[in-house]
Amino acid sequence: MTRILLVRHGESTWNADGRWQGQADPPLTDRGRDQAVEAAARVGTIDAVVTSDLERAAVTGQIIARLLGVDHLATEAGLRERDAGPLSGLTRTEIHERWPGLLPDDPAGFVPDADGSPRWPDGWEPDADLWARLEVALVAIARAVPDGDVLAVTHGGVMYALERHLGAAGRPRLSNLDAVSVEVGSDGRMSVGERVSLVDAAHTLAIEADRI
């Protein structure tokens, strides 16, 4: 059984601006780098760090790996954020203006294409497609580090989709450096655990939790 702790990246410049990111690649802010440093002190013992190939996740993972002295550092494209299509780069207000009623109040409540509805704009990556690549990535990580403990730095949209697929939908909004554990068996079966925060909640701004 491989234990994977999926962690949302540190604050990016678009997080700070309130812009949806999708697969765009804005860098971390100084605050985001500080969050990664703080998180490293709370992670505990790990055998490997694997990150999305997007900069905000990769740099978060690099900082944590360096501080923990972890040599096994790899990138995995399957961990990258959902493709948000034309929503990428827009604020929530701008999205409401262009597509009234598109967004639920809580991003944890997204169920894209669950009923075959075409309400999402062209270019939005459906949950089924996201889960297909994520499942492959998690199984590959488990095979690379059998019976190990892995930190996987990823993105909010990925973590929401994971929780929905594994029966843990409806949890609160994610903040930067929030984490959720997943156990992956040798047969590829998965179970999801509880969430934890790797940074002091008192230092977390609510705006962080509302961005993809």
Q: Is 96 or 17 the better-scoring residue by pLDDT? A: 17
Question: Which of 48-67 are b and which e, b meaning 16 or more Cβ less than 10 Å from the residue's Cβ?
Answer: bbbbbebbbbbbbbbbbbee
Mean pLDDT of 153-159: 97
Contact predicate 110/171, CB 8 Å: no
Q: How confident is the model at residue 209 (pLDDT cuts 50, 70, 90)?
A: very low
pLDDT of residue 175: 96
Q: What is the pLDDT of residue 121?
A: 87
| Residue 100 pLDDT | 83
Beta-carbon contacts of 115 under 8 Å, excluding residues fewer than 6 positions away, are none
pLDDT at 130: 96
Per-residue pLDDT for 205 more than 50?
Answer: no
Q: Which of 81, 125, 163, 208 is catalytic?
A: 81
Q: Is 81 a catalytic residue?
A: yes
Matching residue, tokens 């990258």 = 80
**pLDDT over threshold 50, residue 195:** yes
Note the pLDDT tens digit of each residue in 37-63: 999 999 999 999 999 999 999 999 999
Angle subtended by helix axes 30-43 and 55-68, to nearest 10:
40
Q: Which of 9, 125, 155, 163 is catalytic?
A: 9
Whether 60 and 152 have beta carbons less than 8 Å apart is answered as no
> Is 9 tagged catalytic?
yes
The whole-model pTM stands at: 0.90
Query: What was the pLDDT predicted at 176?
Result: 97
Token pair for 175? 């903040």
List, for residues 110-155, the tens digit of each pLDDT value.
Answer: 554 444 444 788 899 998 999 999 999 999 999 999 999 999 999 9
What pLDDT does 109 receive?
A: 52
**In this predicted structure, what is the pLDDT of residue 33?**
98
In angstroms, the Cα distances linking 165 to 101, 111, 168, 176 are 24, 10, 7, 21
Residue 203, pLDDT score: 45
What CATH superfamily is the domain 2-210?
Phosphoglycerate mutase-like (3.40.50.1240)
The domain segmentation of the chain, as residue ranges, is 2-210
